[in-house]
Structure 1
Amino acid sequence: MAAEFGAAIQSIVGIAGLVAITWALSEQRRHVSWRVVVAGLLLQFLIAALLLKFPLSQTLFLGLNRVVAAVQSATIAGTSFVFGYVGGGRSPFSITDPAAGFVLAFQALPLVLLMSALSALLYHWRILPLVVKGFSRLLERSLGLGGAVGVSSAANAFVGMVEAPLLIRPYMATMSRGELFVVMTGGMATIAGTMMVLYATFLTGVIADPVGHLLTASLISVPAAVMVAKIMVPDDTRTGGGEAPTAYGSSMDAVVRGTTDGVALLINIIAMLIVLVALVALVNSLLGLFPDLFGAPVTLQRLFGWVMAPIVWLMGIPASEMVAAGALMGTKTVLNELLAYVDLAHLPAGVLSERSRVIMTYGLCGFANFGSLGIMIAGLSAMAPSRRDDIVALGGRSIVSGTLASCLTGAVVGVLL
């Protein structure tokens, strides 16, 4: 009991520390609205408590895990039909090492295609816009957002950093600089629903109810992103919103276009993984020319482990585990969260405690990395060419703000665990 209390106090101190860091990075510290800070923190704790502590939420999570299992099975049915045993079908020969029979590109990643089609279908049936609209109303009333930014921020809990702003494209050109930063931070602090299910497959067996935790992480990170953005770039402007436009002509059109969009996403993921893993291996080979440090080779992961260790400590990670956890956060920031989750899933037993694994699941749940920044700048600039200079200027800060928001989410959960 004493250890749990001490861990919760550490996370509370961490929340104060993360808010202080955010305030120190503010463009106009005197204009920071502390009402927004208090409202943002209260909203994070409220959402976290509702989703983590109530029995009804546990029932919801169990249902979500069954849905994930069904989607996985459906995806394997498609991949095994198209790719045969390479896609998860019956092998024509005996496999001595089952782990070697798993092919990421043909068995796990195609899940993105099905999720992209399902997301488009839910959008066309007006189910997703209805959920987004309800959540946006909560953000508008509690955090003082305009309707347009509220819709985009709420949508970030379910769709990607480019898809969410598409819902408010007509308003992008007239938004204030602060509102634009809220939109960008929301995209960096959350993950898309298409990726959520994929990451849950990697975390199965690592933590309990992975899809429930990832969904909770995205929902908590929405008010965290708004709060962090409003501290770093204070702004009281409220640009109006409206109904989400109808994007598809029919259910079949939604499935076809959703699948087509998923293909582009899938190819991008595979290409980025190949290049990023290769670059890390190349850098580690160069670092291998240096002598061992503290009895182990110098690697990129170890270097970022030291740099990010104080940040993960603020989330509530014990001092004895913060270097290993910091390496995961460094991988997520420099490369991407997918590789970080893969590394988390393959950590040897005992490196991170169960509590630390859950906290890191929340802390890693965001798109804040350099690869995503390129995607965001390209997407938002295409939507609002007149705002390209502002988008580029705020790009680097959005990685910082998105990372801080995700870390705040980890710290909030660390208090409640």
Structure 2
Amino acid sequence: MKALCWTGVNETSVEEVPDPKILNSHDVILRVILTTTCGSDLHLLGGYIPFMRSGDVLGHEFLGEVVEVGAGVQKHKVGDRVVVCSFISCGKCWYCQNKLFSLCDNGNPNPAITEALWGFAPGGCFGYSHALGGYAGSHADYIRVPYADQGAFSVPDGVPDLTALFASDAAPTGWTGVDQAEVQAGDVVAVWGAGGVGQMAAAAAQLRGAERVIVIDRIANRLQQVEQHIGAETLNYEQVDVAAALREVTGGRGPDVCIEAVGMEAHSSGPAYLYDQAKQQLRLQTDRPTAVREAIHACRKGGTVFTLGVFAAVVDKFPLGAVMNKALTLRGAQQHGHRYIPQILEHMARGELTTEHLATHVMPLDQGPRGYEMFKNKEDGCVRAVFQPAG
């Protein structure tokens, strides 16, 4: 079959790779219908997560049709259209039983790498390096889905493919941040980043009753999408002082919840960006925490800051004093999608959640390298490149 593979730093190629096979009785094999790029894939592409091997299949956000089922699978049959959570979780361990699915003890068969980095290993993730299991990704004609009864969800008949696709990762990641940050009715929520995850966090905050939701970015077409499709307010950080603007709209207090949806390659227009970029390129720090710092300083006293953007290891100049002295709650997580995808699909079925607009560029899988180039460089207003395998 064909698959889009990582072949080196900032290099991808469509290659012939072996077809996936059932390896466990709880597996299913899917024919991939749609699969999309994600901002966190750029960290792999650029070599910032150094656990890729040439030939690894990329992709973790996808929708497919079941073509083969293991003997132990009970919830799915051949022909079912399913969306799959990007994180791989067993459903049986202590963490899964406590709905902390991305922390599954059994989803990552290569735990040593992340145990050394973080003390404990999280679950596995499709197409996201050998640090998170070494699983083949979704940018392919077919994919094996382990623990299918846990991580694959049947799509309601009335929900189009391009809508349901984003129930795989972008929407549940946004839901994770909003729920874990305990956004309440009447809250003011600020979201850094107007990509797919940031937009879905804004949508989730609105559905939970936030009084005002403000999304911060610099890319005009993404900010326009937020206003048109999500209905949230926007700030362009290249045009305004974000901290001052947030104080102004909150009566001087600051947002109740600040959600960082940018990650380790954050950009800014200030001198701190140049400092962070230089240290990251010299490998004196692994991540650029520019947006996290701004969120911590902007958040009201006693508020909550949540990191949804992907971070790998260590950062410099982290404002721990602000966290402590302002009595902030600082949290972060990979998505617990198994917990949120069913309700997200219900919102989609009722027309309460719009996602198709994120798919600005839909193309055959054969054009995957060009799609990643457009996505990385924000060419032609690309918010997400979506691939259609021919399988």
TM class by smaller structure: under 0.3
- What's the TM-score once normalised by structure 1's chain length? 0.26
- Richer in helix (by share): 1
Higher Cα Rg, which structure? 1
